[in-house]
Structure 1
């Protein structure tokens, strides 16, 4: 018994020392989507600011595939030493309803660190698409349905969820064209190979402002400051159509609470960084306030959103398997 107690005490002391010395090496944030996409853009801004605060390099690693579940599963199985993190969006709450079997449980296999941002969505189309206004678009979709091609980044992606809600709201199906990320989807939209998509402002704002794509609406109650001329969906005639893509930072379950606390304070410092705030604003979004960049706030959001999306996805009959 004495030997066991001694061993336990030694292990605890080693853990405390490790937490005090943290971080002693570079940290990796896994983005479960392709490079150049909206979640990747958000992560790289946050990672740079966290690097400055932590005094260690924070590296972004893209592990795309399976609607974000591949990268999330990799982090769930990683060592819980604080050196492998996950920055994921709303897909953490939709995965349990979309996938019949997951290699992880979003609510038990991760240690929440904090919310990062809530990104508005934009309903956009190729610049020569016939409808001129949101009202025109609604009529065009209802009249042409499956003759319209609609791009998304695959099952569970924010772009797919937005499209699902849009088609349900209009009671009309379009032809979905899945891509390996919104980067290549945007390329085809710019090239005119695809008619429409619905994606985060972090991936569409610059193209909208440059006139390279046509914007019909934002999915927020208020207009987005970076896109003042783009009406809300409600202003365009689509009532009760609101969707913001929340993002959160996670560590593997069992990560030392002292390390989680250090990462939370670093995340809060990054979100308070003026450069990050301005970069977010230029992309049509904003950092969450400090009281939302916390483990409790992220855990509560994840639980509530998981319950909400389970009902929506079940009603739509959508499944990834």
Structure 2
């Protein structure tokens, strides 16, 4: 019988006091955290602990609900390529959250699992329950008290040891709680397509040897159509809420002139993304032109709950990827 669980992470300050949690139902969930960590660390730790907490029932497939595209892509797309490169990205830099990723890579071996992306903070019962418990754990560490670790998974052994949030830092242990003797009442499974048996091994998600890793789904596509795809992605609230993914889309020298007339640096734009609660924004392409071999200009009309705007973005293609170099928006009367 498939185990359906939501996994989520939380960080107050990002980085700051951080928490993680996975949730099946009120009798089956676990949470923990660190005094200092990031949201992505919490998301990864929640998934790792879920695999470790169910390792005594390896025959049961896992269906994991997750609102982090970063975590889903790490596990289902990017890890095999990183491993071939010695756990380094295409630019040669070390992969972030390496110890957590290595532990996940070991934990998923031989397991049947599927991931389903769900929109965060959108009323999904399991996701909201996991989010609440992850945030509670982060709040507990902020207040310097032990978080509620939850009942755990029935029949599971000792809790997973949590890696230190920072190099040289030690995480506070989560109190061990004996699982209840009563059988687990499993949450109803969301409609899904069961992963074939041959998808047990993550190697089946391997990228080609010369593929770019986490960068961009359209990263190797130098066509103008890829620019539109990436601009749509940059408007996606889930992407804007993911600091790692959003930063990959912005050129190191990115600048923006907003509809208010305010000029933003790359750092200021990323901070604005993390603070906003934007709804869905549609994009209507007006013009798309190649300015030279590596530069494209996209103009479009955006339509969001707070109104429409005319926008222009300059994208540059370098090192096999598109990144937005400049953006300007003007509110439409």
Please state which band the TM-score falls in when normalised by the shorter chain.
under 0.3
Q: Compare the two structures and name the one with the higher strand fraction.
A: 2
Query: TM-score, normalised to structure 2's length?
Result: 0.24
Question: What is the TM-score with the length of structure 1 in the denominator?
Answer: 0.25
Q: Which has the higher contact order (CA 8 A, sep 6+)?
A: 1
